[in-house]
Every structure is written in structure tokens, then in C-alpha cells.
Structure 1
């Protein structure tokens, strides 16, 4: 079973509907999920937002957050996830922003990806984020980041259901 198949089963079992806010994964998260038959009813929307302007315009990411923390930051990923969740008819959101490489940029090592998971549970929002680094080609890092965010979604959802908010 693939990561996406396992997650689709989990989402169906827990009545989750997902929206995504993807930068460095460029739609790969939605693509992986869409390969699973029957997943269409569980995917509400998917944003692919590369530029700072698109992150601000479509997801409400604060220019101050970008300036203060950089595009590759947990703070920006969190704002992306919350923006997607706010705009969608969904109860779960994931976001990715990072630097695939091959070169480091602005002191950020290639392969660094920031992730966020946001949930609406019992009328309350829960938000979690992580920063990870992957080693490989651009394509490998992109795929591994997309799989990672899907693999971790059930863990963070369970934490949200248990009452954790961050």
C-alpha cells in the first residue's frame, strides 16, 4: 500500500476533507492523493503558490512573516496552512515551503522543507509544524517531502482530536 492509499483510508475513516498549500512540492501532494481511486471526494482544493506575492494574495501570508522568517520557515508554512483552511470547505490542511536545491540559498541548506498541518476539530483550530532536511536530487526531495506531509497527517490529526492545539 502506498502512503497516499493509507492516508485516503484514514481520511475516509475520520471524515477528513483536505486542502493543500504547496510551494516546493508544486502540487505533488494532491497528485499523490489523486492517484488513489475514490480520493476525489476527500480533496477539497490545492493551492500551488511559489512567489511571495501569491502566498500573500491567495493565502493571506503576512509580508512581515516572509521578511522576518524567510519563505522557508515554519512560520510561513503555518500561515499558508491556516490560509488554505480558512478559504476552503475542508477540515484539514497541509502546507509545504522549502528549498529543493541543488544549491543552498540565503543560508538555508538545499533540501530544507518546512511543513504545517492545520485542523478544524470541534469548532477549534489546531496547528502543527516541522522543519526537516532531505538529501537527494530535486525530484527526490520533492517526492519525499510530499510523502512526509501525508505520512505525518494522521499523527497530528490525532493530537488535534486529543485537544492539543500546537
Structure 2
């Protein structure tokens, strides 16, 4: 069973509806889920936002956050996830921003991806983020990071349900 198949089952069992805010994964997270038959009712929307301007305009990422922390940062991913969740009829959002490579940029190693997961639980928001590094060519890093983003949803959802927001 694929990561997406497992997640769709989990989402059904827990009444989750997903939106994404993807930069470096370029919509692959939504694509992986959409390949699962019957997943359409669990996917609300998917933003693909590469430029800083699109992140700001569509998701409300603050220019100061980008200037202070860089586009490849947990802080930008967090604002992307919250912006997607705020604008969607969904109760879970996942965001990605990173550097696929092949070259390092601004001191950030190629393959670095920042993630954020935001949940709406009983009128409260829970937000989690991580920075990871993946190895391979551009398409491999995209695939690995998209699958990673999906794999983490159940664990973070459980933490959101129990109030563990560490």
C-alpha cells in the first residue's frame, strides 16, 4: 500500500479534508493523493506558489518573514500552511518550501525542504514544522519530500488532538 493510500484511509477515518501550499514540491503532494480512487472528496485545494510574490499574495506570507528567515525556512512554511488553511474549507494544511538543487544557494544545501502542517481541531489551530534534507536529483528530492509530507500527517494530527503542540 502506498503512502497516499494509507493516508487517504486515515483521512476518511478522522474526517480530514486537506489543502496544500506547495513550492518546491510543485503540486506533487496533491497529485499523489489524487491518484488514489475516491480521494477527491478529501482534497479541498492545492496551491502551487513558487515566487515570493505568490506566497505573499495568495497565502499572506509576510515580506518581513521572507527577508528575515529566507524562502527556505520553517517560518515561511508555517505562514504558507496557515494561509492555505485560513482560505480553505479544510481542517488540515501541509506546506513545503525548499531548494531542490542541484546547487546550494545562499548557504542552504541542495535538498533542504521546510515543511509545515496546520490543523483545525475544535476551533483551535495547531501548527508543526520541520526542516529536512533529502538526497538525489531534483525529481527524487521532490518525490521523497512529498511522500514525507504525507507520512507525517497522522502523527501530527494525533498530537493536535491531544493538545501536544511541541
Partner of 2:103: 103
Partner of 1:21: 21
**Whole-Å Cα distance in 2 between the matches of residues 81 and 110 of structure 1?**
22
**What TM-score, normalized by structure 2, do the two folds share?**
0.99
Partner of 1:126: 126
**Whole-Å Cα distance in 2 between the matches of residues 76 and 164 of structure 1?**
22
Structure 1 runs not aligned, ≥5 long: none
- Contact map agreement 1:113 1:131 (CA 8 A) in 2: yes
Deviations 1:40-68 (A, max 9, x none): 00000000000000000000000000000
- In the TM superposition, residue 165 of structure 1 has moved relative to its aligned partner by 3.2
**Whole-Å Cα distance in 2 between the matches of residues 46 and 69 of structure 1?**
24
Partner of 2:10: 10
Partner of 1:66: 66
Q: How many residues align?
A: 166
Q: CA RMSD in A?
A: 0.5
**What TM-score, normalized by structure 1, do the two folds share?**
0.99
- In the TM superposition, residue 127 of structure 1 has moved relative to its aligned partner by 0.1
- In the TM superposition, residue 164 of structure 1 has moved relative to its aligned partner by 2.2
Structure 2 runs not aligned, ≥5 long: none
**Whole-Å Cα distance in 1 between the matches of residues 165 and 147 of structure 2?**
23
**Whole-Å Cα distance in 2 between the matches of residues 165 and 44 of structure 1?**
24
- Contact map agreement 1:125 1:165 (CA 8 A) in 2: no
Structure 1 stretches of 4+ moved >3 Å: none
Partner of 2:112: 112
**Whole-Å Cα distance in 1 between the matches of residues 96 and 155 of structure 2?**
17
Partner of 1:41: 41
- In the TM superposition, residue 25 of structure 1 has moved relative to its aligned partner by 0.1
- In the TM superposition, residue 96 of structure 1 has moved relative to its aligned partner by 0.2
**Whole-Å Cα distance in 2 between the matches of residues 30 and 121 of structure 1?**
22
- Contact map agreement 1:103 1:109 (CA 8 A) in 2: yes
Partner of 1:88: 88
> What SS class does the counterpart of residue 95 from structure 1 fall into?
strand
Deviations 1:121-148 (A, max 9, x none): 0100000000000010000000000000
> What SS class does the counterpart of residue 152 from structure 2 fall into?
helix
